[in-house]
Structure 1
Amino acid sequence: MVVGGLVEAANRLLEGRHGRLGASALRTALVDLYEFWLGRAATAAGVGTGAPGVALAAVGGLGRRELVPFSDLDLVLVHDGDPGIGAVADALWYPLWDAGVGLDHSVRTPAEALQVAAGDLRTAMGLLDVRHLSGEQALTARLASAAREQWRRTARKRLPELADSARARWRRSGEVAQSAEPDLKYGRGGLRDLGLLDAFAAAQLTDRPGEELRAARELLLDVRTELRRELRRDRDVLGAADADAVAAELGLGDRFTLARRLSGAGRAVAYAVDVALRSTVSTVSTVSIADGPRGMFGRRPTRTPLDDGVVLHGDEVALARDAVPARDPGLLLRVAAASARSGRPISPGTLRTLTDSAPELRAPWPGPARRALTELLGAGEGLVDAVEALDRAGLWARLFPEWGAVRDLPPREPVHTWTVDRHLVRACVEAARLTTTVSRPDLLLLGALLHDIGKGREADHSELGAKIAAQVAARIGLSEVDSGLVAGMVRHHLLLPHTATRRDISERETVERVVRTVDGDPALLDLLRALAEADSLATGPGMWSDWKAGLVAELVSRCREVLHGNGLAVPDPLSEDQRELAAAAVRSGRGEVRISAEGKLATVVLAVPAGAELLAPAAGVLALHSLEVHTAELRGHEGGRVGVFTASPKFGSLPDPALLREQFARAVAGGLALSRRLAEKERAYAHPRAERVAPRVLWFDGETSGPSTVVLELRAPDRIGLLYRVAGALRSCDARVRWAKVATLGTAVVDSFAVSPGHGSLDAEWRGRVEREVLAAARGE
């Protein structure tokens, strides 16, 4: 068989049996290999070099000489009407199939190929990459020339279809720049979008991609090549579990460095495509629909004033004719604010003019510039595209030089949807909806923009960020008091959500510690409340729930009571129903359960008689039913013990109360084999390549009331039954648990427990023993 050794030869290249090739060299070697074997196969089928009336041509990755491992070959057998072409095709395709080569093939005359391209956008764009392999070269050249000419003539009419197709693809595949697992080919800013830019250039609608886009193409191809080489299959979505290996092969250190590089490349490509679509598709739409026939004869778009020196020119924000950027330092911010408010893009010409002519704002900024900044940050959804345009043009860094440290910075926490810079902008979008809830909306917006500005360095990002925020606030002309408020927001932006979800907010010590932290300033407390909501909403789905909102609101309300000099009411630890359930457990001598729910959030009350274990069996049974525990409060009452749990199903609906009651009673009595069943469930549901980071234990003194009571905080990867195992570890160390709070952050948890020794003192030896057992439980040992 002529091509019998093709797959084996390709495997030798991938395995590096004769020396490992870099990503680019591997693609070149694969192209050369396939061209050699295809030439032999073509000759055997009667399509040898120079054979008249028939030609073998490549399109797709082979046509562009960008072939990555495990790609199908896109081949076209071109002929001039030869009636025997079917036999030639069979002689060519069947040996390739028999050799295990994936094919996407067609057999057409040039006229047939052009006819198909006229009705199929994918074929039309594919023919732009057609490249001769074997046979009559003039035939391939004729097809290539005719396909490009047809594309140039028809491209403008097909642009709306092309734009709709691209946007549908983006909705399916997400963004390369803002995805934890980017689709390198189909995602927004990926390789398919680079193909769009090539098609625009081939139609002479835009310039050829420049150096930045060429570098982006090379990076995307290299990552795609190494991903497929690593997995030994055709995959284009870069998973987190594979990113470290790919980064190492490319000499980029770790997956976070790779993610940052990919984000920059994806943003560059996405922005170039946006500009190309705007300058071509919008023009076509305006001429053919909005203006009618008169638009084809040069009707000028209208100019509508938006602000001093700023107009809406057609569908883009532009400079007024009398604007002089070199003499107007605030013009840049007014242009951006007008764009964000109107939702219309800034014209590329205006961006170039501002880049060349706009002076830097000197410290302190004048009042009109600060007001324009507030208008920009408070514009809502339009802010995202406005900042992106300024950032791509280098103008955002002119306003905020500190931005470079967080640009394209990937999040270290898996719960974050966006890169750090996009998260900050999204936080402003969310904060804009909350400006009526605070007395200083301008400071809320600035604090939202800067709250994570300290990330990306080897330091506490809140403390470093507060220093940076104070410098920015002073530079833009805020007073010393206002600068202090902005710095305080950044320093303490995690105070309220962390306290509400990790501490017992009914305790006076907890509330008074929050009040001391905000220096008794009610304005800062209100700003932190709004920032907590904006930050959570901008982090990712599920990060701001009714449960979390209620806890933060209750904490803030109790802090206000202290600020106003009122005494804190001590809540009744148990309701009447809960006391009745405890009494029922004492009478029956078995575990009792009662569930009430509001939406997906359930309150599960579990009671046991005195002397029976409560936390471990309760946590285990809830885990068996895939209930995610948020809080647990353990109280004693008249010979019994009661646990009040708030929980929600990870998927599906709440369990049947009767089944939950029966299983809890068996678990309390020791007849349910919880450890074995939870281990089986974890094996069934665990991700085979899930990342496991080392768990940590932190101790916090003086944050809870009660004699010899301390807060233990466990930070660990989430796993089924983790709370059950930790409860068992605490029991084995004779640690009494007063309350527990569980915060699940994607694939990680922060579990907090108020604990005290059942016997003896709260000394270093006891803490060391507890810590060792809890860490062993978190590791599953």
Structure 2
Amino acid sequence: MRLQALSDRRAIIERRILAARIDELAKGEGSSARPAIVAALKEALEEGRAELTRRLEEQPSAGHSIAAGHAYLIDQLVRVIYDHATLHLYPASNRSSAERIAIMAVGGYGRAEMAPFSDVDIAFLTPQRHAPWCEQVIEAMLYLLWDLGLKVGHSSRTLDDAMRMAKEDLTVRTALLEGRYVWGDQALYDEGARRYRIEVVMGTERQFLREKLEERNARHKRMGDSRYVVEPNIKDGKGGLRDLQTLYWIGKYIHRVDAAADLVTVGLFTESEYRRFRNAERFLLAVRAHLHTITGRAEDRLTFDYQRQIAERMRFADRPGKSAVERFMQFYFLQAKHVGSLTGIFLSHIDEEFAQKSQRGGFFAGFRTRPRSVAGFTVHGGRIAAPSDDWFRKDPVRLIELFRLAEAEELEIHPRTMRQAQRDSGLIDHALREDPRANALFLDLLTGRNNSETVLRWMNEAGVFGRFVPDFGRVNAQMQFDMYHHYTVDEHTIRAIGLLARIEKGELVSDHPRATRLIGGLASRRALYVAVLLHDIAKGRGGDHSELGADVARELCPRFGLTEGETELVAWLVLHHLLMSSTAQKRDLADPKTIEDFVAAVQSMERLKNLAILTAVDIRAVGPGTWNSWKGQLIGSLYDQAQERLRLGHIRHGRKERVAAKQAEVKERIGERADLVDRYARSMGDAYWIAEPADIAARNIVHYAAAREAGDKLSIFEQYYEARGATLVTVIASDHPGLFYRIAGGIHLAGGNIIDARIHTTREGWAIDNFLVQDPQGRPFREPQQIERLERSIADALANRIDLAPRLAQRPLPHGRSKAFDVDPRVVFDNSASNRFTVIEVNARDRSALLNRLARALFEEGLVVNSAHVTAYGERAADTFYVTDVTGAKLTGEARMKRLEAALLEAASDALQARLEDA
């Protein structure tokens, strides 16, 4: 057992010396000895933990020995406390047969898998109920354990009660299954173990397996149902410790094994698979020990806050293109992947065992379904299998063919064949990668019309994917240390391929109507699938992953069998796969220069269609909630304008024609009030009509007319804007310096996040400012009290009834854990992105009221903001401003640019945040 293999146990705790000290204190001080005894026990606990912490620092990956060491420490304390309770507190020289106690460790304590602050789960077994001496001893022990600050999960049951509850309750049955004798009456414990095997286990193996798998599936669903989430729960998450424990529980229950090593003896694992089991378990136990040590509590979620610290403690180092924390997390996900493949292998063996036991005999035995052959593979019961152990060695191309057939025939792969594929993946060499037949099979799989996502994931789990496409193997289990990306790079890519397939099938028409419409008319669907596969293939190499990825595409596409034209399209898509999302979210789509520059880069309708679909699946595959109607609307608007320019050139794009067309559309929208357009069109100016979408312009002009007729000095209008998944906030007020930053401050104080802002001034000096606002969770403001709070806060800010700076500093960060990341503020000036404005992009850590601070800095530098565009990428914000000086000219002059850059960096800095919080 693990405890027996533990080295230098006396350095952790010397039970005999501690027991002698307790004995001396109890005899010498009598009833007043308790404080001194507690102090002695606590000292032993603290010294033991300190020794184990020292060992963890010396051997940061020694998960098994550290876990066993903590269990051993608790064992010895429990033994000393039991002996003290029975010898000094409640001595009984002539106990009856009912006055017996067996102390059993259960849960992680029972497995000797304890982290520094794990719960201490103890079961007290007694022969019968209501034995006063037993109750007194148990109570005394519990009070002493609690005095030590231990979190004790305990039960006290008779053997009869324990057996009855184990039959009824899966949790109790599992606890007793991994129970371990600690101290007390050994014979009573042995009797309980014997009765458990006979009365509880025998004949219920199938039921236990079914219930444990249902429990596991429910837990996975609760935890996100992916082993590649970037903040995993190392205990309960998919691919975590609980999955390994489940295998052990099932094996022990069905095969009566006493240790995980016995799973090899009964044929559930090979020696190499068991080594992978142990390695994954050792690593996960070590990570959990570090996590408890850092936090000083029982913590199992590996959040961003702790990942960097644990990477350092476990001696991961930076490498070119990949930080230490990213290397640590990549290793973590590889272990989680191993846990997943081991689970499949293990359960397949159990499944086969039960199938063999339940095969029908007698007359009907001859009527079993016969297997069929598909390309030499055996297909039976919906599973495809290799017919022999040397099947892949005879022709390694079959390693690719296996997965292609599984997708094409909609079959599961037999776990034993998955094991073979994993074992034989090393047969994939350069010659096989260049084999035209193998590449044709892979391309057919990638573009399959059934369920390519699932089969590619199987291929990845088996290690075949990464061997066949080594560039993909380099991003296997690779995470990005940020709050934007929810999955590892390989998982993100496979999910994106799955989304593309679903769009092609028409399953996502409500979310992606444009992509669904476009995908059927592409010149080459396979080029798009390959582009999705390769768009992030070069992440983690150091340098621009888009440029490096385009080079990879030029090498791989001919190998896959793509034509020269398809190869060029894929390389272009990989190189520019961020262009559309960046332009749509960071640039002013009403500025003609934005569209001109985008179209100049795209150059053809075929590229535009492919890029629009790639952009949609790329954003959506980042994680839940990253794709929303607002992003869909922006990308759609960019697509429509670019499409029109590409098809018609500059026809219909003259400024006068665009203004007239927009005004005509607004007249149509407002119907009987169409005369308002003629009344206020000139006052609003051509720039307004070009900038605002027709639906917003229609709302604005009715609102503006009402405000003017009523003589309002301030008019605020809020409305849920379904088309963009946000609340439209329009403020009409007399224009004056600082108006924009004050409005922004008021919106922030009401709990709103501004995702887009457009600022206009009429010829009469009235401001018409439009803001799209969401709450911190990306939802619109819709409740009446939310709207009222928003309006009141804006009015107070504009009337100077509140001091914005200190109030805004007190608001919590949008992401409380964003301080775990290094985000260096950066300011970029661009005088070529617009014909009329200087475009300023500020990248910084997302924080409360960042837009307000940046807008105030621009105001204090004497600049006029025409529009602002806000994009959040997890902990990082990218705020873009279209500005001029007070004369309406672009910014020039190096000295002024440097002064403005310094002001913006100061506004975005952590130091300013700290000063404001202190104030």
TM-score by length of 1: 0.89
1:207 is the counterpart of 2:268: yes
1:356 is the counterpart of 2:424: yes
1:134 to partner: Cα distance: 2.4
1:446 to partner: Cα distance: 1.2
1:190 is the counterpart of 2:240: yes
Aligned to 2:728: 603
Q: Which has the higher mean CA deviation after the structures are superposed, 604-613 or 538-547? A: 604-613
Q: Which has the higher mean CA deviation after the structures are superposed, 80-89 or 485-494? A: 80-89
User: Aligned match of 2:531 in 435, 439, 447?
Assistant: 447
User: Aligned match of 1:243 in 307, 327, 330?
Assistant: 307
Larger of the two Rg values belongs to structure: 2
1:451 to partner: Cα distance: 0.6
1:551 is the counterpart of 2:634: yes
1:422 is the counterpart of 2:491: yes
1:299 to partner: Cα distance: 7.0
SS of aligned partner of 2:823: coil
What is the identity, as a one-letter code, of the residue corresponding to 2:587? R
1:268 is the counterpart of 2:268: no
Matching of residues 524-535 of structure 1 within 5 Å: 524-535=607-618
What is the identity, as a one-letter code, of the residue corresponding to 1:89? I
1:285 to partner: Cα distance: 8.4
User: Aligned match of 1:411 in 480, 486, 489?
Assistant: 480
SS of aligned partner of 1:416: coil
Q: Does the 8 Å contact 2:247/2:343 carry over to 1?
A: yes
What is the identity, as a one-letter code, of the residue corresponding to 1:70? F
Question: Measured at CA, do residues 686 and 241 of structure 1 come closer, stay the same or move farther in structure 2, by a change above 3 Å?
Answer: closer
Q: Does the 8 Å contact 1:76/1:107 carry over to 2?
A: yes
User: Aligned match of 2:178 in 129, 145, 149?
Assistant: 129
CA deviation map 1:183-204 (0-9, x unaligned) = 1211121111111111233223
What is the identity, as a one-letter code, of the residue corresponding to 1:512? E
Aligned to 1:31: 71
User: Aligned match of 2:594 in 489, 494, 510?
Assistant: 510
Q: Which has the higher mean CA deviation after the structures are superposed, 524-533 or 638-647? A: 638-647
Aligned to 1:41: 81
Q: Which has the higher mean CA deviation after the structures are superposed, 248-257 or 525-534? A: 248-257
Question: Measured at CA, do residues 18 and 413 of structure 1 come closer, stay the same or move farther in structure 2, by a change above 3 Å?
Answer: closer
1:219 to partner: Cα distance: 1.4
Aligned to 1:722: 850
1:62 is the counterpart of 2:130: no
Q: Does the 8 Å contact 1:451/1:490 carry over to 2?
A: yes
User: Aligned match of 1:393 in 462, 482, 507?
Assistant: 462
Aligned to 2:167: 118
SS of aligned partner of 1:5: helix
Q: Does the 8 Å contact 2:292/2:299 carry over to 1?
A: yes
Distance in 2 of aligned mates of 1:78 and 1:674: 64
Matching of residues 581-730 of structure 1 within 5 Å: 588=711, 590-599=713-722, 600-639=725-764, 640-650=766-776, 653-654=781-782, 660-661=790-791, 663-682=793-812, 691=821, 693-706=823-836, 709-730=837-858
What is the identity, as a one-letter code, of the residue corresponding to 2:117? F
Q: Which has the higher mean CA deviation after the structures are superposed, 190-199 or 348-357? A: 348-357
SS of aligned partner of 1:433: helix
Distance in 2 of aligned mates of 1:532 and 1:248: 36
Aligned to 1:537: 620
1:174 is the counterpart of 2:244: no
Distance in 2 of aligned mates of 1:773 and 1:721: 16
Aligned to 1:336: 403
SS of aligned partner of 2:412: coil
What is the identity, as a one-letter code, of the residue corresponding to 1:525? L
1:317 to partner: Cα distance: 2.5
Aligned to 1:303: 371
CA deviation map 1:491-513 (0-9, x unaligned) = 11111111011111233322222
Comparing both structures, which one devotes a greater share of its residues to helix?
A: 2
Q: Does the 8 Å contact 2:52/2:70 carry over to 1?
A: no
Distance in 2 of aligned mates of 1:302 and 1:106: 52
User: Aligned match of 1:257 in 319, 327, 333?
Assistant: 327
Q: Does the 8 Å contact 2:101/2:125 carry over to 1?
A: yes
Question: Measured at CA, do residues 777 and 15 of structure 1 come closer, stay the same or move farther in structure 2, by a change above 3 Å?
Answer: farther
CA deviation map 1:451-498 (0-9, x unaligned) = 101101111111111111221112212122211111111111111111
Q: Does the 8 Å contact 1:585/1:608 carry over to 2?
A: no
CA deviation map 1:273-295 (0-9, x unaligned) = 2443354358758987xx88889
Q: Does the 8 Å contact 1:636/1:642 carry over to 2?
A: yes
Aligned to 2:685: none
Aligned to 1:11: 46
Distance in 2 of aligned mates of 1:130 and 1:592: 71
Question: Measured at CA, do residues 375 and 393 of structure 1 come closer, stay the same or move farther in structure 2, by a change above 3 Å?
Answer: closer
What is the identity, as a one-letter code, of the residue corresponding to 1:225? A
Aligned to 1:562: 645
Q: Which has the higher mean CA deviation after the structures are superposed, 79-88 or 403-412? A: 79-88
CA deviation map 1:44-69 (0-9, x unaligned) = 34499xx9965333222232222212
What is the identity, as a one-letter code, of the residue corresponding to 1:463? E
SS of aligned partner of 2:181: strand
SS of aligned partner of 1:647: strand
Q: Which has the higher mean CA deviation after the structures are superposed, 767-776 or 385-394? A: 385-394
Q: Does the 8 Å contact 1:340/1:376 carry over to 2?
A: no
1:124 to partner: Cα distance: 2.8
Q: CA RMSD in A?
A: 3.5
Q: Does the 8 Å contact 2:759/2:865 carry over to 1?
A: yes
Stretches of structure 2 that go unaligned for 5 or more consecutive residues are 1-33, 256-265, 318-323, 505-518, 660-687, 690-696, 913-919
CA deviation map 1:616-640 (0-9, x unaligned) = 1221222223232222222232222
Q: Does the 8 Å contact 2:443/2:560 carry over to 1?
A: no
1:391 to partner: Cα distance: 2.6
1:156 is the counterpart of 2:206: yes
Q: Does the 8 Å contact 1:241/1:690 carry over to 2?
A: yes
1:727 to partner: Cα distance: 0.6
Q: Does the 8 Å contact 1:682/1:720 carry over to 2?
A: yes
CA deviation map 1:591-628 (0-9, x unaligned) = 33233333342332223324443321221222223232
Question: Measured at CA, do residues 713 and 338 of structure 1 come closer, stay the same or move farther in structure 2, by a change above 3 Å?
Answer: same
What is the identity, as a one-letter code, of the residue corresponding to 1:620? G
SS of aligned partner of 1:167: helix
Aligned to 1:432: 501
Question: Measured at CA, do residues 665 and 190 of structure 1 come closer, stay the same or move farther in structure 2, by a change above 3 Å?
Answer: closer
Q: Which has the higher mean CA deviation after the structures are superposed, 14-23 or 440-449? A: 14-23
Distance in 2 of aligned mates of 1:281 and 1:189: 20
Percentage of pairs with the same residue: 27
Q: Which has the higher mean CA deviation after the structures are superposed, 761-770 or 346-355? A: 346-355
Q: Which has the higher mean CA deviation after the structures are superposed, 745-754 or 88-97? A: 88-97
TM-score by length of 2: 0.76
1:733 is the counterpart of 2:861: yes
What is the identity, as a one-letter code, of the residue corresponding to 1:316? R
Q: Which has the higher mean CA deviation after the structures are superposed, 10-19 or 709-718? A: 10-19
Question: Measured at CA, do residues 235 and 362 of structure 1 come closer, stay the same or move farther in structure 2, by a change above 3 Å?
Answer: closer
Question: Measured at CA, do residues 652 and 479 of structure 1 come closer, stay the same or move farther in structure 2, by a change above 3 Å?
Answer: closer
Distance in 2 of aligned mates of 1:672 and 1:221: 52
Question: Measured at CA, do residues 751 and 671 of structure 1 come closer, stay the same or move farther in structure 2, by a change above 3 Å?
Answer: same
Aligned to 1:104: 153
SS of aligned partner of 1:620: helix
Stretches of structure 1 that go unaligned for 5 or more consecutive residues are none
SS of aligned partner of 2:284: helix
What is the identity, as a one-letter code, of the residue corresponding to 1:497? S
Distance in 1 of aligned mates of 2:193 and 2:419: 36
CA deviation map 1:561-611 (0-9, x unaligned) = 232243253444333653565577778473332333333423322233244
**Would you say how many aligned residue pairs link Structure 1 and Structure 2?**
772
Q: Does the 8 Å contact 2:234/2:300 carry over to 1?
A: yes
Aligned to 1:346: 413
1:653 to partner: Cα distance: 2.9
